[in-house]
Amino acid sequence: MTFSFVSNSINIRITLSLDINGIALVYTTATLAAATTNCLLVITFFLLCYSSKLHHQWQMTRDKFSVTGESSLVDQTRMLFLDVL
Protein backbone atom coordinates (compact mmCIF):
# COMPACT_ATOMS: atom_id res chain seq x y z
CA MET A 1 0.00 0.00 0.00
CA THR A 2 2.75 2.43 0.95
CA PHE A 3 4.80 1.62 -2.13
CA SER A 4 1.88 2.26 -4.45
CA PHE A 5 1.17 5.57 -2.70
CA VAL A 6 4.79 6.68 -3.07
CA SER A 7 4.91 5.47 -6.66
CA ASN A 8 1.71 7.33 -7.56
CA SER A 9 2.93 10.43 -5.76
CA ILE A 10 6.17 10.42 -7.73
CA ASN A 11 4.34 9.86 -11.01
CA ILE A 12 2.01 12.78 -10.29
CA ARG A 13 4.93 15.08 -9.47
CA ILE A 14 6.86 14.10 -12.59
CA THR A 15 3.79 14.51 -14.80
CA LEU A 16 2.92 17.85 -13.23
CA SER A 17 6.43 19.23 -13.64
CA LEU A 18 6.57 18.14 -17.28
CA ASP A 19 3.13 19.67 -17.94
CA ILE A 20 4.18 22.98 -16.42
CA ASN A 21 7.40 22.87 -18.43
CA GLY A 22 5.43 22.14 -21.61
CA ILE A 23 3.03 25.02 -21.02
CA ALA A 24 5.93 27.38 -20.38
CA LEU A 25 7.64 26.28 -23.58
CA VAL A 26 4.54 27.12 -25.63
CA TYR A 27 4.95 30.81 -24.76
CA THR A 28 8.65 31.06 -25.66
CA THR A 29 10.57 31.04 -28.91
CA ALA A 30 11.27 27.77 -30.67
CA THR A 31 15.01 28.09 -30.07
CA LEU A 32 14.63 28.56 -26.32
CA ALA A 33 12.11 25.73 -26.14
CA ALA A 34 14.48 23.35 -27.93
CA ALA A 35 17.41 24.37 -25.73
CA THR A 36 15.37 23.87 -22.56
CA THR A 37 14.12 20.48 -23.69
CA ASN A 38 17.66 19.33 -24.52
CA CYS A 39 18.95 20.57 -21.16
CA LEU A 40 16.53 18.29 -19.30
CA LEU A 41 18.46 15.23 -20.47
CA VAL A 42 21.81 16.77 -19.58
CA ILE A 43 20.65 17.80 -16.11
CA THR A 44 19.27 14.30 -15.51
CA PHE A 45 22.61 12.79 -16.54
CA PHE A 46 24.58 15.04 -14.18
CA LEU A 47 22.19 14.30 -11.31
CA LEU A 48 22.72 10.60 -11.93
CA CYS A 49 26.51 11.05 -11.88
CA TYR A 50 26.33 13.08 -8.66
CA SER A 51 24.02 10.52 -7.08
CA SER A 52 26.37 7.65 -7.91
CA LYS A 53 29.30 9.66 -6.54
CA LEU A 54 27.48 10.16 -3.24
CA HIS A 55 26.56 6.48 -3.14
CA HIS A 56 30.22 5.54 -3.69
CA GLN A 57 31.33 7.91 -0.90
CA TRP A 58 28.75 6.38 1.42
CA GLN A 59 30.01 2.86 0.66
CA MET A 60 33.62 3.87 1.28
CA THR A 61 32.65 5.49 4.59
CA ARG A 62 30.63 2.44 5.61
CA ASP A 63 33.56 0.15 4.80
CA LYS A 64 35.88 2.38 6.82
CA PHE A 65 33.52 2.14 9.82
CA SER A 66 33.35 -1.64 9.59
CA VAL A 67 37.16 -1.92 9.56
CA THR A 68 37.58 0.41 12.55
CA GLY A 69 35.09 -1.30 14.83
CA GLU A 70 36.95 -0.36 18.00
CA SER A 71 36.83 3.42 17.49
CA SER A 72 34.33 5.47 19.42
CA LEU A 73 31.15 6.97 18.03
CA VAL A 74 32.66 10.47 18.20
CA ASP A 75 35.61 9.39 16.04
CA GLN A 76 33.29 7.75 13.52
CA THR A 77 31.12 10.87 13.31
CA ARG A 78 34.19 13.05 12.84
CA MET A 79 35.44 10.77 10.04
CA LEU A 80 32.04 10.90 8.35
CA PHE A 81 31.95 14.70 8.29
CA LEU A 82 35.55 14.99 7.09
CA ASP A 83 34.91 12.56 4.22
CA VAL A 84 31.79 14.41 3.09
CA LEU A 85 33.49 17.80 3.15
CB 51 within 8 A of CB 43: no
Whole-model pTM above 0.85?
no
Most confident of 27-36, 41-50, 53-62, 72-81: 41-50
What's the chain's average pLDDT? 67
Please name which of 17, 63, 81 lies closest in space to residue 44, comparing C-alpha atoms.
17
* CA geometry: angle 61, 57, 63, nearest 5 deg: 30
25 burial via Cβ count (<10 Å: 0-12, 13-18, 19+) = middle
Instruction: Please state the rounded mean pLDDT for residues 27-40.
Output: 76
| Packed helices 30-67 and 73-84: angle between N→C axes, nearest 10 degrees | 150
